[in-house]
Structure formats: C-alpha cells, structure tokens
C-alpha cells in the first residue's frame, strides 16, 4: 500500500495528464525534434514538482525519495508520455548523486529539479547494457553509446564507462548526436558518438557499486512504468468489452472473455505489488533489494507483455489500426522488455 501523501501525488499527476490529454498528445510529439510535449513537462515540474522528488533539498529538490519518483514514472506509463522523467529526472539525477561529486550535484541538480535542465545517460554498447559503448582514456572519451533516452535534446550528457562516470557538454568538439528509429514510436532513442571528446570525471570512488545501484534503479523504474501501462491496458479492455456487442450482447459478458480479463487483473495486481516492493527495498537499501528488483523486472515484463497482447486480441481488428492506441502499448511492451537489459538472478547467500 502507498501512503496518503503518495496517493495525493498520484492523483495530482494523473489529473494533470488527463487535463492535458497526454495520451492523445504523444502522436503529435512523435514527429517533433523533442519527441515529447514541452508544455506538459513544464507543467509537471512547475505544478507538481515531479523532477524534484528524488533530489535532496540541499540540491534544490524536495528530498521525497525514489518511490515517489517511480510512482510518477508509473503514471506516465499509463499514457506513454515520453517526457524526460525516466531518462533525466530519475536515471540522470541518480547517476550524478551516486557519483558522490558534490560540486557537480550543486551545479547540475537544481536545474534538473526545476525542469530547466535535462540529463542523458550514455551507457549501452551496440549489444546492450551488458557492455559499455564508451571508453575513457584519462578524461577523453571515445566510442558510441546506444539506446540513449533524451539523447539528442539533453542539456548535459552523463557517460557511463568501465572506469567511472563522466560529464560531457553536448556542444563539445568530438560529440555527435543522432536520433535512431525504434519499434516503439512513442519512445525517443538516440546514439551518441564520442571521438576524442573532452569530459569531466564525476567522483573518485570505485565505480562498480555505483553502476550496480544505477542498474537496479533503472530496472525498478522500468517495472513501475510497465505496471502503469499494463493497468491502463486492462482498464481500456474492460471498458471496450462492455460496449462491443456481438450476438445481441456485450462481449464482456461471455464467460471465456471474463476468464481472460480476470487473468489479466491477477497479472497486473501481482506486478504492481512486486514493483512497489522493489522501489521500497531500493529506497531503504534493503539486503533483499537485488532480489526484489530481479523479481520485479521479470514479473512486470511478463505481465505487461501478456496484458498488451491480450489487449490486442480482445479488441480485435481495430487494435492494429494506426488510430487506436492498443498497438502503441504493444510496441512499448516489446521495447520495455529489452530496455536496460535483463538482470541475472542474484546469488543467494546463507
């Protein structure tokens, strides 16, 4: 269960997304350079303060915590709105915080908290997140980061390498950014190539625990998004089967379809529970966090993929038309199944 304050946050975000008709807005945003509605992002930051939630007060944030940020990610998942919450306010901000570089935190995070600065985490190699796309030679970067969220429009790049984290100005010599086609048109992905690009190292500690923690945050955030999207798919399917009539009765009254929607409900509720457990475990730095995140990543991926596929099936032919949203959720489910890689199950000790 979430607290009363957290429920108020969810209600505020959902209300704003509904007022802005964010689900309809994604189609217009797909064809823009930004890939999202900047006015929606500004309102989310100014009226609700979504970007400031997990940023400490000393750096201009609210200091609420990671679970609150992931609740927002879940609400955005319901509409597929690709604003810079996941890529910048969660992953980017957490990367800077985890680096332990107080000077960089003081300089970068206040802008992130108010929504005026966006960050892009440059990490994956061409084969995915199990390898680094960028390598560091001192404070010079070379290589290409793939599948970067918010990459072509971010104000600051955070490069993840085997030797640590680096800050790079997008306008620096040797930096090339390009948007790439993705199966999911509602998600903007980029490739960032560094050719002898000057960079500033963030922090001086051992990067291994930082990268492990950042991976877990990425998987937990994605699980939250998958839950939000899956819940919307279920709700939309139930509503459709109430209104679609065949053989003189609503198709939702047929027992076979009732059973299928009941299975969808069980999957959605189970996924919601595991996603919340993972978020809380990470926030509390619980010894079980790695296991909880692994469970959430796998269960939420299976739930969203299954529910999205059932949504297509139960809507029938209309679901694969461009005008209907069902195919967008199906494509997001496929993309989310691969985004940030798939964690291996943690070793059990004791």
DSSP 3-state of 123: coil
pLDDT above 70: percentage of residues in the chain: 99
Q: What is the pLDDT of residues 87-140, one digit of tens each?
A: 999 999 999 999 999 999 999 999 999 999 999 999 999 999 989 999 999 999
CB atoms within 10 A of CB 42: 14
The answer to whether 172 touches 200, Cβ cutoff 8 Å, is no
What is the structure's pLDDT at 32? 87
Rg over CA atoms, the chain: 20
The residue with greater pLDDT, 95 or 255, is 95
- Say whether pLDDT at 270 is over 60: yes
> 123 φ, ψ to 5°?
-135, -65
CA torsion 121-124-125-128 (nearest 10°) is -160
- Say whether pLDDT at 279 is over 50: yes
- Say whether pLDDT at 342 is over 90: no
- Bridge partners of 125, per DSSP, are 128
Indicate the average pLDDT of the chain: 93
- Span 207-236, mean pLDDT? 95
Distance CA 269, CA 275 (A): 10
What is the structure's pLDDT at 347? 66
Spatial CB neighbours of 159, under 8 Å, sequence gap ≥ 6: 122, 123, 134, 136, 141, 145, 165, 166, 167, 168, 194, 199
Indicate the pTM of the whole model. Answer: 0.94
The two counts, helices (H) then strands (E), for the chain are 10, 12
- Say whether pLDDT at 82 is over 70: yes
Q: What is the pLDDT of residues 201-210, one digit of tens each?
A: 999 888 889 9
Q: What is the pLDDT of residues 155-199, one digit of tens each?
A: 999 999 999 999 999 999 999 999 998 889 999 999 999 999 999
What is the structure's pLDDT at 242? 85
- Span 196-224, mean pLDDT? 93
What is the structure's pLDDT at 329? 96
Q: How far is CA 99 from the centre of its chain?
A: 20
What is the structure's pLDDT at 86? 97
What is the structure's pLDDT at 133? 96
Q: Which of 198-202, 254-258, 275-279 has the lowest mean pLDDT?
A: 254-258
What is the structure's pLDDT at 346? 74
Parallel, antiparallel or unpaired: strands 164-168 and 156-161 = antiparallel
What is the pLDDT confidence band of residue 350, given thresholds at 50, 70 and 90?
very low
What is the structure's pLDDT at 348? 57
């Amino acid at each position: 269960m979430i607290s009363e304050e957290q429920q108020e946050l969810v209600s505020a975000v959902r209300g704003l997304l509904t007022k802005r008709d964010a689900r309809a807005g994604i189609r217009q945003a797909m064809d823009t350079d930004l890939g999202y509605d900047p006015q929606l992002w500004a309102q989310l930051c100014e009226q609700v303060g979504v970007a400031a939630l997990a940023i400490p007060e000393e750096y201009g944030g609210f200091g609420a915590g990671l679970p609150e940020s992931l609740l927002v990610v879940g609400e955005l998942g319901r509409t597929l709105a690709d604003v810079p919450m996941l890529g910048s306010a969660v992953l980017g901000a957490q990367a800077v915080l985890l680096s332990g570089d107080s000077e960089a935190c003081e300089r970068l995070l206040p802008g992130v908290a108010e929504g005026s600065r966006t960050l892009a985490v440059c990490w994956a190699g061409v084969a995915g997140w199990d390898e680094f796309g960028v390598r560091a030679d001192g404070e010079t970067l070379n290589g290409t980061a793939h599948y970067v969220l918010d990459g072509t429009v971010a104000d600051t790049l955070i490069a993840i390498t085997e030797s640590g984290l680096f800050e790079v100005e997008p306008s620096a010599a040797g930096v090339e950014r390009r948007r790439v086609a993705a199966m999911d048109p509602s998600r903007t992905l980029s490739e960032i190539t560094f050719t002898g690009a000057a960079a500033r190292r963030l922090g001086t500690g051992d990067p291994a625990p930082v990268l492990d923690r950042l991976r877990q945050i990425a998987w937990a955030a994605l699980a939250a998004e998958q839950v939000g999207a899956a819940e919307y798919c279920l709700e939309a399917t139930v509503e459709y089967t109430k209104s679609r009539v065949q053989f003189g009765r609503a198709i939702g009254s047929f027992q076979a379809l009732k059973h299928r929607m009941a299975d969808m409900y069980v999957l959605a509720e189970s996924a919601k529970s595991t996603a919340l457990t993972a978020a809380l475990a990470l926030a509390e730095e619980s010894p079980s966090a790695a296991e909880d995140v692994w469970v959430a990543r796998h269960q939420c991926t299976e739930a969203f993929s299954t529910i999205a596929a059932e949504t297509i099936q139960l809507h029938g032919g209309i679901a694969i038309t461009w005008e209907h949203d069902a195919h967008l959720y199906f494509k997001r489910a496929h993309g989310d199944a691969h985004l940030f890689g798939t964690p291996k199950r943690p070793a059990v000790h004791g």
